[in-house]
Amino acid sequence: MAAKVEAAGRSENTLKSYHKDVHGFCTFLQGYIGDALSLSDLKELDRKTLRSWMAQERNNGISSRSLARKLSSLKNFYRWLGEEYGFENTFIETAKAPRFRSKFPRPISEQGTQEVLAYVGTQPDVPWVAARDVAIISLLYGCGLRISEALDLTHAVLPLKDAIQIIGKGKKERVVPVIPYCQNAVTEYVCLCPFIAKPKDPLFYGIRGGPLNPRTVRKIMERARISLGLPANSTPHSLRHSFATHILNAGGDLRVIQDLLGHSSLSTTQAYTKVETSRLMEVYKSAHPRAK
């Protein structure tokens, strides 16, 4: 049985996760009842079966956070079933998600980001590849872009001006300033890149000329992290967190940071203030005479 989901405002990755979660649950339920799955089976799902599914997920090593997401997908699925077939399941609606600690953003230090930018341009033997690595890392940190947003850029943005329009999660558009460092890095890469491109072609290429794969960007950061001795959380996405945190440290306004990151809710952006508060508390506890 395939479930539909309202696609408006949802990213492709969100939809994929939703369908994967629902498919996994239906596969479990079919195996649990030992027969082909029917609407009646879904309607009559009881608390014992639901708990068995959650227990199986736990035994498979699923974290509390991931299990909470799966349960959320399941509730959305049952809402759709209710709209389409007019039945409700109290056990699903009232099921409580497991508790988990919210993960605060883990930024890289300002010195660490400078070291990363300096390092990535020295590794590949092919000059245009080295320039490409610098260009994309500079956009992640200098503009606070997600990997997907950077890789979605096309040659139509060239030459890079003082600002670019980004289409982020949920097809939400935002305007992001581009600092001269990023402009210069992209310009150098484009000048060295051997592939002839049209305006609609991707800005960043892989070594063989196809669109650059996100895994390649993650490997670039992984090599930099290991070589520079940076924390294990130093990933491409942490450059986006670093972008926001460093602006906040310099006195940036939280509302402005919200717009730059493309967050729908200010509460999401406020996580960065918690990061700085936790860091202040660490310094306080280690330095204050009465705290020792």
Q: How far is Cα 42 from Cα 169, in angstroms, rounded to an integer?
A: 32
How much is the mean pLDDT over the chain?
83
Residue 274 has pLDDT above 70, yes or no: no
Q: Tokens 């999401």 label which residue?
A: 268
272 tagged catalytic? yes
- Residue 43, domain extent: 12-94
Same domain (yes/no): 41, 143: no
Token look-up 């999660």 returns: 169
Question: Do 199 and 234 share a domain, yes or no?
Answer: yes
**What is the structure's pLDDT at 249?**
76
Alpha helix (H) residue ranges in the chain: 12-33, 39-43, 47-59, 64-85, 90-94, 110-120, 127-142, 147-151, 180-192, 214-228, 236-249, 254-261, 266-269, 271-287
Domains contained in the chain, number: 2
* Residue 240 known to be catalytic: yes
Predicted pLDDT of residue 205: 96
Q: Is the pLDDT of residue 224 over 90?
A: yes
Residue 101 lies in a domain: no
> Residue 128 contacts by C-beta under 8 Å, 6 or more apart in sequence?
189, 192, 193, 194
User: Is there a single domain that holds both residue 82 and residue 119?
Assistant: no
Reported as a single tens digit per residue, the pLDDT across 10-37 is 566 678 888 899 999 999 999 988 888 8
- DSSP label of 102: P
Could you tell me the CATH number of the domain that includes residue 176? 1.10.443.10
3-state DSSP assignment of residue 202: strand
pLDDT at 227 over 60: yes
Question: Is residue 132 one of the residues assigned to a domain?
Answer: yes
CA distances from 10 to 7, 74, 116, 169 (A): 5, 16, 32, 7
Q: How far apart (Å, rounded) are the C-alpha atoms in residues 164 and 262?
A: 13
Task: Given the residues 69, 75, 79, 237, select the one marked as catalytic.
Answer: 237
CA distance 230 to 107: 11
103 lies in a domain? no
From the candidates 70, 132, 146, 225, give the one annotated as an active-site residue. Answer: 146
35 and 67, same domain (yes or no): yes
Phi and psi, residue 286, nearest 5°: -85, -20
Which residue, 139, 119, 143, 242, is CA-closest to 189?
139
Amino acid at 225: R
The catalytic residue among 19, 75, 155, 169 is 169
> Known catalytic residue: 146?
yes
pTM for the structure as a whole: 0.62
Banded model confidence at residue 271, pLDDT cuts 50, 70, 90:
low
Per-residue pLDDT of 34-72, as tens digits, reads 888 888 889 888 999 999 999 999 888 888 888 888 888
- Asked if 243 and 163 sit in the same domain, the reply is yes
Instruction: Kindly state whether residue 277 falls inside one of the protein's structural domains.
Output: no
Percent of the chain at pLDDT exceeding 90: 37
Average pLDDT over residues 213-220: 94
C-alpha dihedral sign at 230, 232, 233, 235: positive
Within this chain, do residues 231 and 170 fall inside the same structural domain, yes or no?
Answer: yes
106: region left, alpha or beta (phi > 0 left; psi from -120 to 50 alpha): beta
Asked whether residue 182 is domain-assigned, the answer is yes
Q: Which of 94, 128, 154 is the last residue of a domain?
A: 94
Q: What is the C-alpha separation between 169 and 4, in angstroms, rounded?
A: 20
Q: Is position 268 within any domain?
A: no
Tell me whether residue 119 is one of the annotated catalytic residues: no
Any domain includes 125: yes
Q: Are residues 22 and 58 in the same domain?
A: yes
Q: Is the pLDDT of residue 203 over 90?
A: yes
198 noted as active-site residue: no
Residues 90 and 114 in one domain: no
- The last residue of a domain, from among 94, 122, 139: 94
- Active-site annotation holds for 181: no
Residues 127 and 39 in one domain: no
6 belongs to a structural domain: no
Q: Are residues 117 and 73 in the same domain?
A: no
Alpha-carbon distance of 225 to 44, in angstroms, equals: 51
Spot the catalytic one: 70, 132, 225, 240. Answer: 240
pLDDT on residue 176:
87
Choosing from 78, 119, 205, 272, the catalytic residue is 272
* Residue 243 and residue 116 share a domain: yes
In this structure, are 134 and 233 located in the same domain? yes
Query: Between the CA of residue 166 and those of 128, 153, 154, 257, what are the distances in Å?
Result: 25, 8, 11, 15
CB 74 within 8 Å of CB 22? yes
> In the structure, what pLDDT confidence band is assigned to residue 292 with cuts at 50, 70 and 90?
very low
> Tens digits of per-residue pLDDT, 115-159?
999 999 887 789 999 999 999 999 999 898 999 999 999 999 999
